Structure 1
Amino acid sequence: MSLSFSSSLFGFCPSCASILPTPNVAPSEIACKVCGEITSVKEKAHELVCRLEKVYEKRVIEEVDDEGGADSIVDHICPKCNNGKATYSTMQTRSADEGQTVFYTCTNCKNKSIEYS
C-alpha cells in the first residue's frame, strides 16, 4: 500500500509531504531529498519575503572595584532599573550537557538576575 499526500502548501513535497529545500532563485525546480519528486517553484509577485535576525554583541570592560579586584562589566539591561551595565559570573548548575547559568548583578541598583544558557 502506498501513502499519498496532496500537499498544496509551499515548502512541502506534494508527494511525500517532507520539507523541501529552499530555492535560491525563482522560478526554478527543486527535487525532494526523500522521494526525488521534482517540484516547480513559481515566482511570486506582490509578496513581501523577509528574514529577521538578531545580532548580539557582547562587550567586556574591565573595571577595578574598591577591594582591588577586577570585575567584568557587560551590556545587560537590568529588569528593575533599566540600567545597561552589569557584572556577571557563571556557574554550572544543571547537567554537564546543558549550558552554564549566568548570574548578572546590576552596577546601579545591585539587583541580581539569572539567565539560563
Structure 2
Amino acid sequence: MEFCDECGSMMKTDGDVWVCNNCGNEADRDTADEAHMTSTAAREESEVVDMSDVDDSEIGPTTTVICPECGHDRARYEMKQIRSADESETRFFTCTDCGHKWREDDH
C-alpha cells in the first residue's frame, strides 16, 4: 500500500507508477520496496466458525446493564472500534435472557 506525498490518500498502481485517485500525483514504483507489501488478494478466505454447539455462558463476558426490551439486568458485551481511532469504542450488548441486541456509544 502506498500513500500520496501530496494529499495523504491511498494510491493505486498503474503500470510502472503509483497514481493518487484524489489529486492525480504520480510516483515511481519500487519493486524492492513492494516485495515487503502484502496483498489481501493473496490471502485465503477464512472458514466459517460454527457456534451452534457453544453454550451462551461461554461467549464473552457479562455485565450488569438493563435490557431495553425485557428489563433483565445481565447482558454479554463486546467492544469494537467502529469509528475513527480518536473516538471511543462502541459497546455491543446481548441480553442473556431474551437475546435482544443493542449498542451504546459515547456521544
Q: TM-score, normalised by structure 2?
A: 0.45
**When you count helix as a share of all residues, which structure comes out higher?**
2
Which structure has the greater CA radius of gyration? 1
